[in-house]
Amino acid sequence: MIELRPAPERLRAGLAPRSGMPEAAAVTAAVLRNLGRFATLTAEEAARVAALGATRRRWRPGALLAADSGASGAHFVVSGWACRQRVLRDGRRQIFDFIVPGEGFGFEPLPLGPQSIVALTPLETVAAHGLMDGGPASADGLWRALQAARVETCARRQDHMLRLGQLTAYERASHFLLEMQWRVGAPDPRSFPLPLTQEAMADALGLSVVHLNRVLRQLRAAGLVEIRGGVAVVRDAVALAQAAVLPLPGKAAIAGC
Amino acid sequence: MIELRPAPERLRAGLAPRSGMPEAAAVTAAVLRNLGRFATLTAEEAARVAALGATRRRWRPGALLAADSGASGAHFVVSGWACRQRVLRDGRRQIFDFIVPGEGFGFEPLPLGPQSIVALTPLETVAAHGLMDGGPASADGLWRALQAARVETCARRQDHMLRLGQLTAYERASHFLLEMQWRVGAPDPRSFPLPLTQEAMADALGLSVVHLNRVLRQLRAAGLVEIRGGVAVVRDAVALAQAAVLPLPGKAAIAGC
DNA sequence: CGGTTATTTGAAATACGTCAATTCAAGTGG
DNA sequence: CCACTTGAATTGACGTATTTCAAATAACCG
């Protein structure tokens, strides 16, 4: 049986080529798209975000973006994927959360404890300095979007705890993939970029790589979802949601810290 | 072999009798002790907290203190234990966190998500309304204490994720007991109140009751810790800490650019 | 193309869950 | 003080989910 050849760039799926736009704005397109999910921004606010493009910085996979007491300031990831994680002496690591293009980190005013933020793919960030200069009043939409994003992050953490504590491996994987589909929000609802190694997913879901691999094979065999070349293809969204047990924080479901 | 008889009140260990104090202040003693862990309060601030005693309210085990979108306001638990939890349709439940005497809930400005706060023992709360009237400046110590408590809560949640995702049952139980010892901060460092059923602990740690029971038996047999009559007795703190696999800040990340 | 890292698969070990029953402690009412 | 009840703790036997070990592809990268 002849397999279709996966796309040439495997782990670059998070890097979207944006050719037709003015350079500065193109950099922060993902950020605008993401913030737009939470609140509508005024033209002035959008311009303020676009201006951040000047501070672009590149990182390679494995780079440490921020460490423990991370007073490194607020940033947005404009392309590529990162994660928050913590590593034990014996090598076990727990990934607390992934950071996808358009999302930020370091907005918490206080140190968050012994965690570090690490690039999982080639990555680009921009600094979020001065975004809120002038206080909440001067940029209401921005402020509300950032606030809402933080709330959603909290909700996601709860979902993650529930996954780790109560769901089976099969349910965990399904639920995780659904969450990612919803977060990444690709134009085509039937597939979305997922430039993660199985090892990274396993460390997030609290499973061994081997077992995650088997579970993914099950999902593939059952015709629910298929991951190939850094892209996840959803073949049966209904069945996938059913396998995931938990409803996603799609609408009114939102959690506090 | 004759066993010592456990204390008569089994699950009441969280209810400390405070007889020698003036009534109003006695109610909130646990709150003052807890906030004192994070910042020193002025006499004026302490009085403000003590005044909350007038709003005392009682709940019985199983009572629902706050529900999903619970805009029920901020409260302190002054005696007894509660938890934040979420229950699945099929009955599985994940306990996200326990709330011990002196700790508060509902301080988040935003709606709680699909979680509820439930009493695990007979419980008393006071409302925290008006605590911060006049803004942060008027009660600096209080404000810093509450802020620090919130940060600690976040850190605890990360610890919990790490427990659920990476630690074995034995390690989970050890780590959990250590955390509780530290939080409850009893006068005698060799024992502390733990008025939780094994079912509650199991639901927090993502284990079945039966297996948790076996793990606790192992810990007892190994001479590390013993739970009896709602009180945990730490017999070998060093070995317990060792079993808990104290996690360390993430490294394993390449410093790159 | 060769070296490296990721994915995939098999077989065996084990950690953990389920089912079912027993014990134990505390409460109730006679 | 003694049946009787109820809920929690405990234990055994057994099934299953998940891990570990080991090795073989397959994909990627310079």
Residue B111: which of A67, A165, A254 has the nearest Cβ? A254
Alpha carbons A172 and B65: distance in angstroms, whole number: 30
Find residue A125's DSSP bridge partners: A57, A77
Mean pLDDT of the B22-49 span:
89
The H-assigned helical ranges of chain A are: 23-27, 29-36, 43-51, 135-138, 140-166, 169-184, 198-205, 209-221, 237-243
Alpha carbons A217 and B192: distance in angstroms, whole number: 47
Mean pLDDT of the B220-239 span:
96
What are the C-alpha distances in Å from B96 to residues A146, B145, B180? Answer: 25, 22, 14
- pLDDT digits over A174-204, tens only? 999 999 999 998 888 899 999 999 999 999 9
Of A38-52, A239-253, B48-62, which gets the smallest average pLDDT?
Answer: A239-253
B199 Cβ within 7 A of any nucleic strand D atom? yes
Show Cβ contacts of residue A137 under 8 Å, excluding neighbours closer than 6 positions.
none
A88–B113 C-beta distance less than 8 A: no
Whether A253 has a pLDDT exceeding 70, the answer reads: no
A81 Cβ within 7 A of any nucleic strand D atom? no
Distance from CA of B92 to the nearest CA of A (A): 7
B3 Cβ within 7 A of any nucleic strand C atom? yes
- pLDDT digits over A56-103, tens only? 999 999 999 998 765 678 999 999 999 999 999 999 999 999 999 999
What is the percentage of chain A residues whose pLDDT exceeds 70? 82
The H-assigned helical ranges of chain B are: 23-27, 29-36, 43-51, 135-138, 140-166, 169-184, 198-205, 209-221, 237-243
Cα torsion A111, A36, B112, B41 to 10°: value is: 40
Alpha carbons A77 and A196: distance in angstroms, whole number: 16
Amino acid in position B9: E
pLDDT for residue B70: 58
- Interface size A-B, in CB pairs within 8 Å, comes to 146
Residue by residue, DSSP assigns A195-229 as: ---HHHHHHHHT--HHHHHHHHHHHHHTTSEEEET
Cα A52 off chain centre by: 20
A150 → chain B, closest CA residue? B110
For strand C, the positions having any atom within 7 A of a protein Cβ are 6-11, 15-20, 25-27
Q: What is the CA radius of gyration of chain A?
A: 18
Distance from CA of B203 to the nearest CA of A (A): 8
A58 Cβ within 7 A of any nucleic strand C atom? no
Query: Would an 8 Å CB–CB cutoff place A164 in contact with chain B?
Result: yes
Highest-confidence segment of A39-53, B136-150, B199-213: B199-213
Residue by residue, DSSP assigns B138-150 as: HTHHHHHHHHHHH
Continuous segment of H or E residues that includes residue A58: strand A57-59
- The count of other CB atoms within 10 Å of the CB of residue A44 is 11
Q: List A residues 3-42 in contact with B (Cβ-Cβ < 8 A).
A: none
Highest-confidence segment of A111-120, A121-130, B61-70: A121-130
A253–B113 C-beta distance less than 8 A: yes
A10 Cβ within 7 A of any nucleic strand C atom? no
B74 secondary structure, DSSP code:
-
pLDDT for residue A137: 74
What per-residue string of b and e applies to B3-27 under the rule 16 or more CB within 10 Å gives b?
eeeeeeeebbbbbeeeeeeeeebbb
pLDDT for residue B188: 87
